[in-house]
Structure 1
Amino acid sequence: MANGTPPTKQSEAEIKLTFDMRKLWIDHTIWTRGFIVSNLAGLEDQKKVLERLLQNQVDIGNAIKPYYGKDAGNKLTELLKEHILIAGNIIDAAKKGDQANLEKYNKEWYRNADDITNFLTSANPNWSKKELTDLLYMHLKLTTDEVVARIHKDWDADIRAFDVGENHIIKMADALTAGIVKQFPKKFE
């Protein structure tokens, strides 16, 4: 490597956690996109897509249970489901041009992101509050960019926001994985 530091060898357990976390969070962006498209277009599959998106939040909560326990996994699921339901309210308000509710739900969405950050950083001191806040806020911004682009039928911007959002969510998944590995090194030997 350029700085003279040899690359670290990852254990099979760390590689598996990295893959699993990336898949869960990529699924989060894929099903969120599916819901945005379905909702804004008024498609018949809205309810089913939302159910699948909410299941993804359960899956993410379940992924942390081996490290933080059942209650923590369930709490993360609860916070992430709130994240999704608020996003649905934001989409509905944006679709209707309802600025008052759009502003109200957007504030709730950022408050929920802060709640997620506070929860995670209380569970793991290796997760930086600033880093997680920045990562979650950027996720919200990129999701908002997708919704706005679709409403304005700016398909290039819509696709760009999704692509950037997917790359960003991988970065967030990797930050979460790194914190878990650092906190529980014996599980990754």
Structure 2
Amino acid sequence: MSTRSTASFRAAAVPLIAAFALTGGLLTACSSSAVADPVALSTRSQAHSHAGQGSDLPAASAEASLYSAMRTLWDQHMAWTWSTVVAFAEDSPALDPTIARLLANQADIGDAIAPFYGEDAAAQLTELLQTHITLAVPVLTAAEAGDTDALDAALDDWYANARDIADFLAAANHAWAKRDLRDMMETHITQTTAYAAAVLAGDYESAIATFDEAQAHMAEMADMLSAGLIAQFLERF
């Protein structure tokens, strides 16, 4: 799936930023020590068909477990992001615990690569993913202050972090093409921005439709990550 231009990304981000600024809300970050085991996580999900595999794939296979677990992690990412946006829009007391759970998911995703790339790599990915959340703070601060220059700089940082995440993964596994990963991450940001803006505008019908697209896109990215791990560590599967 192709990504939008930087200009389009900014255009999509402005309504979200403005809505956030109007309510005066700020996201807060927290650290997480949660550990995600890709195989263990799969016990709560059903094996599904994926590229190169038939619908009769044994549920107990290592490949099916990885695909299922990766989908679970990114599904949780989508669910808690949506919950965070809704809690924020409603000024709900659930906001802080929901943000904490969302950031814990970033650690879960980071830790999921530890069995393949080690604890240091897991920590690096977690830091990149949690930075992806905390970079919302300067964006919101600049929007609230009406500082256009600071807002542009904050958006540049947010966008650059998405590239950093893609580039980190691409460097770890050549089965993941850098351009493909960048497109995946950039599209994820744009879709998230679009449905969040709709939620904050009270247009839940549009928000849900866009979220469905974003969730399908994230499932595609999860499968892409699983396929790359299997290709690189074929002896484990």
Assess same fold via TM > 0.5: yes
**How many correspondences in the alignment?**
181
Match of 2:107 in 1: 58
Measured against aligned partners, the alpha-carbon deviations of 1:31-60 in whole angstroms (never above 9, x if no partner) come to 111111112222112111111001001110
Question: Which residue in the other structure is 1:121 paired with?
Answer: 170
Question: What is the deviation of 1:85?
Answer: 1.6
Cα displacement (A) at 1:92: 6.6
Distance 1:175 1:91, change over 3 A: farther
Match of 1:130 among 154, 175, 179: 179
**AA of the residue aligned to 1:47:** D
CA deviation after TM superposition for structure 1 residue 106, in Å: 2.1
Identity percentage of aligned residues: 38
Q: C-alpha deviations, 1:108-166, integer Å up to 9, x for none?
A: 11100111111111111110011000000000000000121122222111111111111
How has the CA–CA distance of structure 1 residues 124 and 72 changed in structure 2, closer, same or farther, with 3 Å as cutoff? Answer: same
Q: 1:21 to 1:64 in 2, by over 3 A?
A: same
Partner of 2:45: none
| Aligned partner of 1:74 among 123, 131, 135 | 123
Identify the residue that residue 145 of structure 1 maps to in structure 2. Answer: 194
Structure 2 distance, partners of 1:148, 1:61, is 28
User: Residues 54 and 131 from structure 1, CA distance in 2 versus in 1: closer, same or farther, beyond 3 angstroms?
Assistant: same
Counterpart in 1 of 2:88?
Answer: 39
Higher helix proportion: 1
Q: Structure 1, unaligned stretches of length 5 or more?
A: 1-6
Partner Cα separation in structure 2 for residue 130 and residue 44 of structure 1: 40
Contact residue 83 and residue 98 of structure 2 kept, 8 A: yes
Q: Distance in 2 between matches of 1:66 and 1:156?
A: 41
| Letter of the structure 2 residue corresponding to residue 69 of structure 1 | G
- The amino acid of 2:117's aligned partner reads Y
Shift of the 43–92 alpha-carbon distance from structure 1 to 2, 3 Å rule, reads: farther
Amino acid at match of 2:128: L
Cα RMSD of the aligned pairs, angstroms, is: 1.9
Residue 79 of structure 2 aligns to which amino acid in structure 1? I
Q: 1:98 to 1:161 in 2, by over 3 A?
A: farther
The alpha carbon displacement at 1:103 in A equals 3.2
Residues 167 and 109 (structure 1), Cα distance of their counterparts in 2 relative to 1, 3 Å cut: same
Alignment of 1:1-189 (within 5 A): 8=53, 12-87=61-136, 89-90=138-139, 96=144, 98=146, 100=148, 101-188=150-237
CA distance in 2, matches of 1:145, 1:185: 38
TM-score norm. by structure 1 comes to 0.88
The residue type equivalent to 1:138 in the other structure is T
State the one-letter code of the partner of 1:153. G
Whole-Å separation in 2 of the counterparts to 1:110 and 1:182? 29
CA distance in 1, matches of 2:73, 2:112: 9
Q: For 2:141 and 2:215, how far apart are their aligned partners in 1?
A: 23
Structure 1 residue 93 displacement after superposition: 6.0
**Mapped partners of 1:44, 1:144: distance in 2:** 22
